[in-house]
Structure 1
């Protein structure tokens, strides 16, 4: 209780905050719901605190989740009017939850990128087949007799003594790591598997290798962005618009000489991501976050949008000024403060 009171006192000093909520299961498959708050403290340092992780055996419907989260904020003395947004995954139940509570929702970039990549490969038979090839190879080398033969083959072929990696279904990056390791060890894998007639058919052929290389060429550059946009020690929302622009113009841009499969994967990922971030409410949040960063300012918006954002920024800054003077005990009347409605640029 002492810890909760200390945290509650700290977070209630903030004017605005954002949160993220997540549903997950333990290793013993017990369901939980977590709520984390993000805010700037009195020393202008970004803080994140997990407010609660609660056992959640109820049916995970939008209505039930909405009620749980709606009750959670007041239990910490927080008002939802001070909540800028809540970050969640793209599950239909979480989307409905925030709609019912009328809270601004920001989809988790890492989750959306995972879905974009999954969808870019799910309807392509070659990709499904070769993912299966990789998994069967890794499974085969998990048996002790194959493990014993691998190091000698690696040593003979001057390959790194690395073990193969099995993918995790919830992480597209782990699938990429699995394929990358199979490509690295392809000669050793073929050497070991071809020596046994029972496993000879499992060795990747040249067509499999071509598909692996196409996938790597399309998706490998995206790994660092997932890590960069999942940080808690810095504000990551302001990078979204620049990153999406970078995806479209450079990272996922089709290049001359690329295989058609690589181009198709890139195009599907870009189309999905841009479709998910065209929601007006989300775009407004991202535009303001980008505008307030001096490195980006008006780089990723039209002239018309810039005028609108400047007026809104000035209005919000004035509201903060009024609010801060009240908190500090300065009860001057609002009409004695500089009027900025007609001169919004003074705060920018």
Structure 2
């Protein structure tokens, strides 16, 4: 009957064994915690764990664009103390003088090596002004690595105190290419449509030089929105939106009426003068909330003296403007990708937008004028580089049939040119 010894113990005994095992494991965890996280024994700054945590903090500061002072913030220090009471955070100067420069040098070496293996490189250049009214130029590289992954490292964010002349910008471009050893890769250039940027590309002899399609759409859309009737409507909407942004009583009334009408509790959106799509977003939000906005302005507690009123004719026009401009918003979003190349999308997008903005007999007079303003500015923007854009589309499986071109002769010509270039390369 020795086989009886192989039977499991009775159920109550099994439960007791399980409980004892859990208690033993919990006790072991507590003992290990006391060994590794005893507040009386600070972690040595030279230990592997301490260095790993410090490196993670440096990465956090850089990756999330945090100020160096974050290491002095009480909440941040409390968080790290809870995670590991034995870790001592280095002082702020240690990060500024040692860890961040070391991380920069490490990343820089990796980018230099990655760039050296790239066959071709494109760079984008743009200028911006900080809140402290300091002018900067930012240069970004774009290339495909050995694993066919799109890379977009920022090569420079440089304070630029010189005059923003084409000559000075061209010198900066040459310096960047030399510093990062990409001048031999014949880098392509993408900038906005400013005359100084166009001159800089010419003087720096960077070809092809493609003008940013998103910036082009912004310029042409701004022209369409400058039609008198539309411009006057936008002025009225801005004043009403500004009132809601500044009046707590108006916002409270709007919130209550939104609840009554079962509308989403969205605040009116104010546009930015240099961004056409923000004007479209303002119109979309105004149209969405128009019943609530109108009713809230009629309540007694809201003082509307001096505020303009939107006429019925303007309200009828508003959805037509939104319908006309929405394809431009979609195009801008499609052409603003960071992780995938977008040059092959430009030609079919140009063709589609020209078709959408072709005037027809059913258009309202204002819509007709908007289309005319847009096309006058837009139609000639890419004639200088149309052949390159068509070839890029032909190499994209999505557009290789070149259906956006009007005739077969044009398609055949594009493929003959591509074939000739490939034969020359071989």
Residue 329 of structure 1: aligned partner = none
Residue 418 of structure 2: aligned partner = 313
Residue 5 of structure 1: aligned partner = 109
Give the drift of 1:202. 2.7
Alignment pair present for 1:217 and 2:323? yes
When normalised by structure 2's length, the TM-score is: 0.69
Give the drift of 1:27. 2.3
Q: What SS does the corresponding residue of 2:271 show, helix, strand or coil?
A: coil
Distance 1:118 1:40 in 2: 34
Give the drift of 1:240. 0.8
Q: What SS does the corresponding residue of 2:117 show, helix, strand or coil?
A: coil
Give the drift of 1:304. 4.9
When normalised by structure 1's length, the TM-score is: 0.84
User: Would the aligned equivalents of 1:14 and 1:39 in 2 still touch at CA under 8 Å?
Assistant: yes
User: Would the aligned equivalents of 1:193 and 1:202 in 2 still touch at CA under 8 Å?
Assistant: no
Q: What SS does the corresponding residue of 2:152 show, helix, strand or coil?
A: strand
Q: What SS does the corresponding residue of 1:155 show, helix, strand or coil?
A: helix
Q: What SS does the corresponding residue of 2:297 show, helix, strand or coil?
A: helix
What whole-Å deviation, never above 9, does each CA across 1:97-143 have from its counterpart, x for those lacking one?
11222222111111100100111222x22112111111101111112
Residue 90 of structure 1: aligned partner = 193
What whole-Å deviation, never above 9, does each CA across 1:270-311 have from its counterpart, x for those lacking one?
3422210111xx112212201212332252455554455444
Give the drift of 1:213. 2.4
Give the drift of 1:219. 0.3
- How is 1:23-38 mapped onto 2 (pairs within 5 angstroms)? 23-38=127-142
Distance 1:257 1:305 in 2: 32
Distance 1:160 1:200 in 2: 28
User: Would the aligned equivalents of 2:119 and 2:185 in 1 still touch at CA under 8 Å?
Assistant: no
Distance 1:27 1:262 in 2: 38
- How is 1:1-348 mapped onto 2 (pairs within 5 angstroms)? 1-79=105-183, 82-83=186-187, 85-103=188-206, 104-122=208-226, 124-142=227-245, 143-195=247-299, 196=302, 198-199=304-305, 201-249=307-355, 251-254=356-359, 257-279=362-384, 282-299=385-402, 300-301=404-405, 303-321=408-426
Q: How many residues align?
A: 316
Higher RCO, 1 or 2 (CA under 8 Å, sep at least 6)? Answer: 1
Give the drift of 1:158. 3.0
Distance 2:243 2:184 in 1: 53
The root-mean-square deviation of aligned C-alpha atoms, in Å, is: 2.1
User: Would the aligned equivalents of 1:167 and 1:175 in 2 still touch at CA under 8 Å?
Assistant: yes
Uncovered stretches (5+) of structure 1, i.e. residues with no partner: 322-348
Q: What SS does the corresponding residue of 1:170 show, helix, strand or coil?
A: coil
C-alpha spacing 1:157/1:256, structure 2 compared with 1 (3 Å)? farther
Distance 1:260 1:61 in 2: 42
